[in-house]
Chains A and B, each alone.
Chain A
Amino acid sequence: MRPLTPLRMFLLLAPFALFFAATLVLGPAIGPVRVNLHEAWAQRGNLAGSLDASVLFLARVPRTLLAALAGAALALAGAAFQALLRNPLAEPFTLGVSSGGALGAVIAIKLGLDVTVLGLSPVMLFALAGSGATVGLVYALGRTRGVLSTSILLLAGVTVSFCFAALILLVFYFSDWTETHGMLHWMMGGLDVTGYGSLARVAPFALAGMAVLLAAAGDLNQLSLGADLAASRGVRVRAAQRWAYLAASLTTGAVVSLVGPIGFVGLIVPHTVRLLVGPDHRVLLPASLLTGAGFLILCDTVARTILAPAEIPVGVLTAALGGPFFVGLLLRAKRRAGAWE
């Protein structure tokens, strides 16, 4: 028997923290342009006057932080959705958060609005609104007599995603070449957002949602066993489901509004981490967070250097890695079919 003690938790999480720390240091140091790090650090107060300093502090560091935030958020939300839906194949976008965000974004691009609210661009605002509306709709559809039905939630999420995909195509159909280019670019998901401004505006939402999820790890363990067992062990099932669902959606929606739908991170990372540390969410959630952050920094570093000076959208890279992984997963699930079902 291996109970979770503070020491055990520390030992389990330490390698993941080291991985994240390593990527956090290496990410900004690597890029198509050679940067003299000593020079950059010495000139940190004089960004305008030093190319090294401005590349490092105005481009690479914020971009690395954004990759860390997005990766952490998507991986954590993915792990939470898998527990909530009691389905290891769920991910942050299963319930339509990204298709809602994408519909909002393409509408904003099509309308070509030029207003900002609280420093958020129209595309971000519309994407946030689209995600939020989708979450509300799917949640309302998935509730039966006050209790969330995981199977109906899944169906509702998939159906809403299909409808929105059709609407997105419709908007494409009525758009000209420049508009569709912008839309496609958004939908590929990318971290080429420069500066700290938008990062600082989105981070509080994502971090708040992540904090709620980390605090709910014990309840998520119980919910992953089923609502009846959870309830008979003292979990207030409805409240716990609602909070976790909203927190995971907020986390995802905030990140998607800024970087678009970066696929598969929310699926690959929790899965890999579960293979390494097991399914206990008290360890799985923080470990997924750290791994997601490090993994996306790594992918982004590859995406922006491998074809330099051109850049692969990082969403394309994660999806390219994620596809084969998903197939492998399905094959594994097929071999295990029948266990407890």
Chain B
Amino acid sequence: MNELAAEQLHFAYRADEVVSGVDLTFPRGAMTALVGPNGAGKSTLLRLLGNLLRPTRGRVLLDGRELSAWPQAELARRMALTPQTVHLYFPFTVGQYVLLARHPHRGWSPFESAADVAAARFALEQTESTHLTERSVLELSGGERQRITLAAALAQAPDWLLLDEPTASLDLRYQVEIFDVLRRLNRERGLSVIVVTHDLNLAARYCPRLILLAGGRVVADGAPPEILDPALIRAHYHVNVEVGRRADGVTPFLLPTGAEPS
């Protein structure tokens, strides 16, 4: 019961089916990466799982209950989703921005409680952004933006965290930092994480389970060594890769060596 499950999930923008017949189960407490080439349907699947889109067919269940049957605020206390890009136009301070994520916990009160402040502080500490608290969100660098976007999602105090490319446009250090935070919260607090990413190496390094999507379908689902397979990658990404092993002899990494001769 403690799981997020997609059953025969379909989604179409007009005539184009973007997600077709996906069956997946995410047990609570797991850290999973959704990977796949551009247009594979990763973001759409994530948005379906996060109740931002209604499936054209099939359903998504959280703890055995269909998402659309959850009261929206209660669902928001269970699950947070960070979109790929957040466009901000108003000069909130970082502190305000992170506190705003407490919206589903506030009920009818317009005011923030001590619990809200504690959650926001915790989120800023976890993402090492406390020093940004009084800065305007409009004056942050790319890396800082990604971190406070994650901080806001953490302040929402969800059991489930769905992230759409949280490390896009970040340098190596910030990429690793973001995934470190996710793994720590996953291990220490049982936060369930589903992350869409283009970075197969980071996914393999941090996530015990990778789901490879292509053409709106699940084409592979397993541990990193099963997914970072040269033949599988060539079939779906149309590139040749070399796959190596880290010193532990288990965790794979890959290096593209050239476009597949057509």
Contact B99 A3 (CB under 8 A): yes
Size of interface on A: residues with Cβ below 8 Å to B:
35
Q: A1-B117, A229-B83, A234-B76 are in contact. Are A280 and B89 (CB under 8 A)?
A: no
Binding-face segment, B131-139, B193-201, B204-212, B247-255: B131-139
Interface residue tally for chain B (C-beta within 8 Å): 46
Chain B residues with CB under 8 Å of A231's CB are: 51-52, 72
Residue interface bits A249-262, CB-to-B below 8 A is 1, else 0: 00000000000000
Q: What secondary structure prevails in chain A residues at the interface with B?
A: loop
Choose from A2, A218, A228, A234 the contact partner of B72 (Cβ within 8 Å).
A234
In the complex, the answer to whether A234 meets B90 with C-beta atoms within 8 Å is no
Chain B residue, CB-CB nearest to A340: B88
A174 to chain B, nearest CB (A): 43
Contact across chains for B99 and A233 when beta carbons are under 8 A apart: no
Question: With A3-B116, A88-B89 known to touch, is A340 a contact of B101 (CB < 8 Å)?
Answer: no
Which of A4-12, A199-207, A319-327 has 4 or more CB atoms under 8 Å from chain B?
Answer: A4-12
The one of A3, A5, A224, A282 that contacts B90, using a Cβ cutoff of 8 Å? A224
Which of B52, B90, B101 lies in contact with A88, CB distance below 8 A?
B90
Asked whether any CB of chain B lies closer than 8 Å to the CB of A217, the reply is yes
Select A87's contact among B79, B89, B100, B103, beta carbons within 8 Å.
B89
Q: Judging by beta carbons under 8 Å apart, are A217 and B76 in contact?
A: no
A336 touches B111 (CB 8 A): no
**Of the residues B50, B100, B104, B137, contact of A221 by C-beta under 8 Å:** B100
* Chain B proximity mask over A84-125: 1 for CB below 8 Å, otherwise 0: 001110000000000000000000000000000000000000
Query: Do A1 and B87 have beta carbons less than 8 Å apart?
Result: no
Q: How far is the CA of A326 from the CA of B100 in the complex (A)?
A: 29
Contacts of B93 in A (CB 8 A): 2, 278
With A87-B89, A222-B100, A229-B86 as given contacts, are A6 and B79 in contact (CB-CB < 8 Å)? no
Interface centre among A2, A3, A6, A9 (most CB of B within 10 A): A3
A233 to B153, CA, bound (A): 9
User: What 1/0 flags go to A57-77 for Cβ under 8 Å of B?
Assistant: 000000000000000000000
A-chain residues with CB within 8 Å of residue B80 when the two chains form the complex: 232-233
Q: Does B258 contact A (CB under 8 A)?
A: no
A170 contacts B by Cβ under 8 Å: no
Binary per-residue interface labels of chain A (272-290) against chain B in the complex, 1 for a CB within 8 Å, 0 otherwise = 0010001110100000000
Some 28 contacts from A to B, beta carbons below 8 A apart, are: A1-B117, A1-B120, A1-B121, A1-B133, A3-B99, A3-B117, A4-B99, A5-B112, A86-B89, A88-B90, A218-B106, A221-B100, A225-B97, A226-B86, A226-B87, A228-B52, A231-B51, A232-B50, A232-B76, A232-B81, A232-B82, A233-B104, A234-B75, A278-B91, A339-B139, A340-B88, A340-B89, A341-B87
Using A236-B72, A339-B88 as known contacts, list a sample of 19 further A-B pairs with CB atoms less than 8 Å apart, ordered by residue number in A: A1-B95, A1-B117, A3-B116, A4-B112, A218-B106, A218-B110, A221-B103, A222-B103, A225-B100, A231-B52, A232-B82, A233-B103, A233-B104, A274-B91, A278-B91, A278-B96, A280-B92, A282-B110, A336-B138
